Amino acid sequence: MTPTVQQGSLVVYQRGDAGIVRGDVAIVQVPGGLLVRRVIGLPGDRVTCCDAAGRVAVDGKALVESYLAPGVAPSQAPFAVTLGPGQMWVMADNRGIAADSRDWGPLPMSDIVGRAVGVYAAGRVTDLRTPETFVADGLAPADHRAPLPLALLGLTLIAIAAAIVQGAAGTITWAVRRRRRKRRQQAPPPAASQQTSW
């Protein structure tokens, strides 16, 4: 999946196929194990290659696949498939050397293990967003899903704030109790009342 996922990178993913749209990077179960592939077509789509400009098209809308590895053609062999119910078409970003639906045919949507949301490499996380070509062609909605690092950062900050508040409340309670105990220990005993009889 280079250049999107470099060799040795860690892929962070959200389990399940909920919310998968065309253009998403998915972890898919294939014979032989798990692979990372891009979802090009969903149930009912007609996926073809190649048009006069050598591009892959979904329902007649040609894709401008800027995520492909440099110098790699969208496909070296022509294909045309109409996906049935529950089927998807997945392709690699480095198509000259990687196996994908061109080799296996359509895959069942149930083969999706999860949607890749980020790639961790060289000490930083890169969010994976829906490529603009799918949005521009009306094949996918604009990607307003929260970027993974921001979501994790938000949850971390909330957890830290809660821990600070809880720790401060505990410290204050302990200090107040200790002060009361000291005052009781330092206070002189009450004077004994004297009774005088006349």
DSSP alpha helix (H) spans, 10-146: 101-104, 132-136
Instruction: Give the pLDDT of residue 32.
Output: 85
Question: The domain containing residue 62 runs over which residues?
Answer: 10-143
- For residues 119 and 165, membership in a common domain is answered with no
**Domains held by the chain: number:** 2
Q: What's the whole-model pTM score?
A: 0.75
Banded pLDDT at 168 (limits 50, 70, 90): confident
> Residues 151, 139: one domain?
no
Q: Is residue 86 domain-shared with residue 131, that is, in the same domain?
A: yes
Read off the tokens for 40.
Answer: 């090009």
| The pLDDT value given to residue 173 | 79
| CB 57, CB 51: distance < 8 Å | yes
For residues 151 and 173, what is the distance between their CA atoms, to the nearest angstrom?
A: 33
The listed range with the strongest mean pLDDT (16-20, 145-149, 188-192) is 16-20
Count the residues in the chain: 198
Burial readout 53-84 (b: 16 or more C-beta within 10 A, e: otherwise): eebbbbeeebbbbebbbeebebbeeeeebebe
Mean pLDDT (whole number) for 75-87? 97
Q: Is the pLDDT of residue 153 over 90?
A: no
